[in-house]
Amino acid sequence: MDMYFIRSTYMIGADADEEKNDMMKSKKQDQKLLQFRQRKINLLVGTQLLHSDIDLPKCNLIAMFDPPGSYRDYIKSKGRAKAFNALYYTICSVEEKDYLEKCLSNFSQIEAILQRKIHECTSPTKPFSLADSELAPPFVAPDTEATVTISNAIGLLNRYCAKLPSDMCTRLIPTADVKTLSSGYQATISLPVNCRLKHTITGNMMPTYHLAVAAGELDANLAPIGKEYLRNYIQDAEWERERTARQSKGAPGSSKAKRFYNKKVADILSETFGPGDVCYLYSANLSLSIAMDKDKHNKGRDVFVTQHYPYTVGFLVKEKLPAVAEFPVFTRSGQETVAITFCMECRLNQSQYEKVKDYHSFVFHNVLRIDKFPLKLNTTTSTFNLLVVPIDSGQQQIAWEYLDRTLAKMEEWSERPPLFSRKAAEFVFKEEDFKDAVVMPSYRNQDQPEFFYVAAMRYDLSPKAPFPSPELYSDFYTYYTSKYGLAITNTSQPLLDVDRTSGRLNLSTPRYINQKGIPLAAATANQAKKKKLGTRERQILIPELCDIHPCTASMWRKLVCVPTILYRLNSLLLSHQLLSRINKGMNFPSLSHTNIHSGGKLDLGIDFSLLQAPSNLTNQTDGDNLQANQNEDDNEPVSQCAVEHQQKNGLDSAAADSEENAGASSDEDRNISDIDTDVTDDEAEEDVDSIPIDLELDKEDNSQCQGPSVTTVLHALTMSNAGDFINLERLETVGDSFLKFAVTLYLFCTHPGLHEGRLSYGRGKQVSNFNLFLLGRKLGLAEYLISEKFEPADNWLPPSYQTDADYVPMEEFSVNSPEKESKEGSPESGTVKANKNSLISYNLRTQHSITDKTIADCVESLIGCYLTSCGPYAARVFMAWLGIDVLPSRRPQGQENKPQDQDNKPQGQENEPEVSELDYGFKLPQPPPGLIKGGAEAERKLARLFAGLEQFEESIGYKFKDKAYLVQAFTHSSYIHNNVTDCYQRLEFLGDAVLDYVITRRLFEDKRKHSPGVLTDLRSALVNNNVFAALAVKWDFHKYVKCLSTHMLTGIHRFVQHQKARGDKIQAEQYLRLSDEGESDEEVEIPKVLGDIFESVAGAIYIDSGMSLDTTWRVYFPLMRQQIVKFSKHIPMSPVRELLEREPETAKFQRPERTKDGRARVSVTVAGKDTWWGVGRSYRIAKSAAAKKALMALNAMES
């Protein structure tokens, strides 16, 4: 028991053949080493394998059973004892003791000699003393009071160079050239190419070699380096703290941080009015624009034409509305266009006001049936004040006669006795009573009544007519008397052929087209014929047993559109209100906050002519045919007489619907397996017409533009999960790209001395979702957003209603109570974090839940609105007004427009962004010339560096005005022979944003109008380092790279050979070299430098052409044309995504592991089939390799 603390294992080696044939052995060795590093095992026993090339942690005891045979073995074994006060033992026999002691003595002497030599080469002969410090006075930073002395100057400068951007192939260090003179030593320091100081630094004369080097690094010219290093060190620490905090669950700005906001009603609809107040009457005129295809009319009904009836829907409001765009609603008849039209100004007396209130209550309680607890009608305190009224279509005024008649019938309806208690008088059928009528079977459940349109009066049927199921009942009379015990007094009355009223109140989207514009499958010909002709599929009612509803059928069909009309109206008015606020705050010359383009039509982006009937159905005026498609609701029951028949045959309405919709497809078919298909130049020429080439991206402003239209802003405010045909995703994609480009250009032009690392840091802070969330929250965007599917009965507050003050709904959500966050810009309240047991107060009708990232996406989509409507300059002004640095500002120092938390203001008050004093006519400063040194010598050196690049200019078809830009674009940071230009990193930083924007904008303007998902996939596939690297090889960019890294040049050579062997085949995914030899296969290493120079040349062309995007695109489009056409035809898909979509339930990736050479290894298992392994230099590459192997194997199994 004395050794209870020992947890041991062993490792043994293997020859090459055994290790190749046994993959699992290598995996087990790696697992044991990992356990030893994690201290799960504290004793590791092994053979010679342990002191070969395996990286072990700091061991405190090494015991060797075999004496070291050479000094090399001695050092390798002793080097394992890395811990402090570690012990090293060698075990030997008594006979070997003297020999071993002699060998160890020799090894110790050799070790001491080597250590002394190394110390002499790397350290001064003696430590710096106080007297040495007097030879070179220290430098004290004025802002931080940090002190740099001769003793720490070398370390400080080395640490600064280590912070400069570099790659794994390059180590950036300062170099010192020390001259021995008669009076002492003098050092000249040269810094790396991408340092902000380009000239060499010469120090003072010093008595010793090492003092000369230290004095050179302490030169006053290096003072900015010291200050920049100290400042960058502080910023890096802050960034690391922020990054760590945001990785936590529910971090502000992420998609996991969820907050609750009040739903906003347009201010113009919030004003209350009463008797005697001036109010304005508007009509919602519906006109059938596209009639439903007859294939969708399962009963063969004639289409109901709304504009042919005398009354329509209207509403009263306190304030006069601005022009409202026409928008569609989708009824059983097809697509109907709604036009909000001003009728008249009016004043209601007390009696009229009460009547209007009663009719308004009648609409929402008795027709729409959404007036349920806890809703209460209150026209004085409701936040949404509007009263629905009937309007005479001809005179465009309130139809008081119709209103009075409806309210009178309503009183009779509410006082009617139950059917079973009525007097048994003979029923007299009157045709005019059932014409344009809505009926309710009075013998059914009165708590949940069912209403039907009277479609036809069947004089060929009577209560004595044969029942549709003769095996059950002989006739209708027998059915009703036997089942319900009802007495039918008139056996000669005609029967009613009826259709169920619509229970679907969200009419903003059509029923027969999905959100991608693809029509769903219609019923088969046999099913359609059966429903048109068969009585079993029809609703047949007896007039005597029905109650007639006070509302006419023609008005009912219009009233079911009211929730959707008011929902769209409020959304459009909110968009108008937000647009007015923004235009007023921007104070941009061509934008007006009063004259806003709010008319026109709301374009949903879908061709709804797919609904159109082959014949013109809009000319019918027969009021008897008030027909519509019966199949409005998924679970709509048939008539009572048909229920038993369906139950007998084992059918129900849901099954019928599923049978009708069999074969329906919700997604576009596309080829995702053959993404490597080549596209020839001829094919590219055929499809290039759809890709715009000249769109005048350099045109900064549209002076005639009055700003985005209200409908465009509505797109930007609608989330994709709102279930609508419009959403912000397309605008968000182009807005995100332009935001990155605008911030990049601003930083590049205003900070000419910053290297690429600091520029990327600054850009990341500006374009981060966290910063955009704060800006959007300051603007109050959350209350304007449409973030959920419109469900009138559940999450919509009807006009002039409010929730009961005593009602506190408790909904269960995965949230916690708000936690106070830091004051450095983070919101102080509203943050929610996961907790499965939390209950919070949440009202679906007045509040909605929105993630922080959603608000950030909305900011980007608004940028896209101004970009596509008014041009780049107006978009920059909008961003500057929000607080994003993209334009020079004359704002006083310290008066920056920082985001403020809206929670500090009372509820309902919005925090207006400060109107910054921007000089709208002032352009960004011109970038510095490419040549950083002047003089004849610099010109001659530039000419030597440019030699051979004339051929490259001819190949791309562009001749540089400033040759230094092209030399800079090809200069790697390791190329120390170029000290007249910078390295390519800054140009690569700019070129990346330029290519991202021009490619995204071209895809956005494509005539095919790609869907948001396709647009995102294409952007990711084309703006990709792998594709850029392959294109650089195809167009011989690699021949001109100026680099002194052997490892990098070797990698470039291998990738070039790989590409040429494949005929310059280009794909968006990683280049994986796969074979049948197991997990040892590796991906093809793609040198990052190739993609970087492809981007840096784009940046050089952009700057050299006077910052012309059009010129840059005209040069690069021919280089990328074939890939754009290819990827547009076959949208690329990563192997991981393709495998998961192919095997969503059975494919499972295991946790990554590390091999002994430091690479990542991932396995994927498809249940019931096999397991495949992938290895790569990163987890993502290894995962792709495993997925691609799995796909290859699955394809082979299926073939």
Label residue 342 by pLDDT band (50, 70, 90).
very high
User: Does 470 fall in a domain?
Assistant: yes
Co-location of 335 and 223 in the same domain = no
Tokens 């309680």 label which residue?
A: 365
Considering the domain architecture, whether residues 327 and 277 belong to the same structural domain is answered as yes
Q: Is 836 within the bounds of a domain?
A: no
- 875/918 same-domain check: yes
Which string of DSSP letters, residue by residue, matches 359-398? HHHHIIIIIS----TTEEE-TTT-SS--EEEEEETTTTEE
Please give the pLDDT value at position 442. Answer: 87
pLDDT tens sequence across 49-72:
666 556 666 688 888 887 887 887
What's the pLDDT at 1144?
A: 85
The backbone torsions φ and ψ at residue 519, rounded to the nearest 5 degrees and listed phi first, read: -70, 140
pLDDT band at 317; cut points 50, 70, 90: very high
The answer to whether residues 691 and 1124 touch, using CB atoms and an 8 Å cutoff, is yes
H-run or E-run covering 938:
helix 936-946
| Token pair listed for 383 | 């936040």
The mean-pLDDT minimum among 375-384, 882-891, 1143-1152 falls in 882-891
For residues 103 and 186, state if they share a domain.
no
Q: Out of 910, 925, 940, pick the residue that ends a domain.
A: 925
Note whether residue 614 is domain-resident.
no
- Is residue 295 a part of any domain in this protein? yes
Judgement on whether residues 147 and 68 belong to the same structural domain of the protein: no
**Residue 553 CA to its chain's centroid (Å):** 45
Q: Is-contact 133 151, C-beta < 8 A?
A: yes
User: How many whole angstroms separate alpha carbon 486 and alpha carbon 464?
Assistant: 14
Residues 99 and 186 in one domain: no
Residue from 71, 652, 517, 560 nearest 330 by CA? 560
Let me know if residue 69 belongs to a domain.
yes
Domain boundary among 865, 894, 925: 925
User: 290-299, 337-346, 957-966: which has the minimum mean pLDDT?
Assistant: 290-299
Q: pLDDT at position 612, please?
A: 52
What is the pLDDT at residue 31?
76
Supply the pLDDT for residue 564. Answer: 96
What is the spatial distance between Cα 1131 and Cα 568, in angstroms, rounded to a whole number? 35
Strand partners, 388: 315
457-461, 630-634, 960-964: segment of lowest average pLDDT:
630-634
pLDDT at 465 over 80: yes
Pairing of strands 397-398, 61-64: unpaired
The predicted model gives 152-178 an average pLDDT of 77
Q: Lowest-pLDDT range, 214-218, 440-444, 721-725, 945-949? A: 214-218
Structure confidence at residue 181 (pLDDT): 79
Cis preceding linkage at 374, omega within 30: yes
Provide CB contacts within 8 A for 223, sequence distance 6+: 139, 141
**Same structural domain, 902 and 989:** no
Average pLDDT over residues 495-504: 90
Helix boundaries (H) for 123-222: 130-135, 153-163, 209-217
Q: What is the pLDDT of residue 665?
A: 32
Residue 273 pLDDT more than 60? yes
Domain of 81: which CATH number? 3.40.50.300
Q: Is residue 703 part of a domain?
A: no
| pLDDT for residue 559 | 95
pLDDT band at 1026 (very low <50, low <70, confident <90, very high): confident
892-924 confidence digits (pLDDT tens): 444 444 444 444 444 444 455 444 344 455 578
- Residue 957 φ/ψ region, left for φ over 0, alpha for ψ in the -120 to 50 degree band, beta for the rest: left
Q: Integer distance in angstroms from the first to the last C-alpha of the chain?
A: 61
pLDDT, position 1159: 78
Q: By percentage, how much of the chain surpasses pLDDT 70? A: 72
Q: What is the pTM of this model?
A: 0.76
Residues with Cβ < 8 Å from 360, sequence gap 6 or more? 377, 387, 388, 389, 799, 800
| Residue 502 pLDDT exceeds 70 | yes
Average pLDDT rounded to a whole number, residues 438-443: 90
Q: Are 1190 and 1166 in contact (CB under 8 A)?
A: yes
If asked whether residues 151 and 205 sit together in one domain, one would say: yes
- Are residue 1083 and residue 1109 in the same domain, yes or no? yes
Domain that residue 192 falls in: 134-246
For residue 1005, the model assigns a pLDDT of 86
Q: What percent of the chain has pLDDT over 90?
A: 33
Closest CA to 1130 of 607, 518, 683, 664: 683
- Rounded to whole angstroms, the Cα distance separating 166 from 461 reads 89
Which position has the token pair 């001695």?
A: 74
What pLDDT does 662 receive? 32
Instruction: Indicate the average pLDDT of the chain.
Output: 77
Q: What is the pLDDT of residue 312?
A: 94
pLDDT in tens, 66-105: 788 788 788 777 777 777 778 888 888 888 888 888 888 8
Residue 532 has pLDDT above 70, yes or no: no
Q: What are the angstrom distances between the C-alpha of 280 and each of 223, 273, 318, 570? A: 72, 10, 6, 16
Quick check: is 349 in a domain?
A: yes
Task: Quote the pLDDT of residue 592.
Answer: 63
Q: What is the CATH number of the domain that holds 1176?
A: 3.30.160.20
Confidence of residue 11 (pLDDT cuts 50, 70, 90): confident
Q: What is the pLDDT of residue 716?
A: 94
Lowest mean pLDDT among 480-494, 606-620, 755-769: 606-620
pLDDT 10s digits, 1111-1167: 999 999 999 988 888 888 877 777 888 888 888 888 999 888 877 677 788 889 998
- Using the predicted structure, report yes or no on whether residue 857 has a pLDDT greater than 80: yes
Asked if 521 and 654 sit in the same domain, the reply is yes
Range name among 3-12, 112-121, 622-631, 1082-1091 with the lowest pLDDT average: 622-631
pLDDT digits (tens, 9 = 90+) for 381-418: 899 999 999 999 889 999 999 999 999 999 988 888 77
- Rounded to whole angstroms, the Cα distance separating 309 from 590 reads 45
Count up the domains in the chain and report the number. 6
pLDDT tens track for 539-593 = 889 999 999 999 999 999 999 999 999 999 999 999 999 999 988 888 776 566 5
Q: Is the pLDDT of residue 835 over 50?
A: no
- Cα(764)–Cα(745) distance, integer angstroms: 13
Query: How many beta carbons lie within 10 A of that of residue 402, not counting itself?
Result: 18
- Domain containing residue 885: CATH number: 1.10.1520.10
Q: Which is nearest to 705 in space by CA: 867, 590, 866?
A: 590
Residue range 735-775, pLDDT digits in tens: 999 999 999 999 999 888 888 888 998 999 999 999 999 99
pLDDT at 267: 94
The residues, any chain, with a CB within 8 Å of residue 296's CB and separated by 6 or more, are 512, 522, 611, 629, 631
Give the residue with greater pLDDT, 30 vs 722. 722
Domain boundary, last residue among 1132, 1147, 1172: 1132
Pick the residue with more confidence: 642 or 792? Answer: 792
Average pLDDT, stretch 203-231? 58
333/427 same-domain check: yes
Q: What is the pLDDT of residue 814?
A: 37
Lowest mean pLDDT among 524-533, 785-794, 953-962, 963-972: 524-533
Residues 984 and 855 in one domain: no
Is 151 domain-assigned? yes
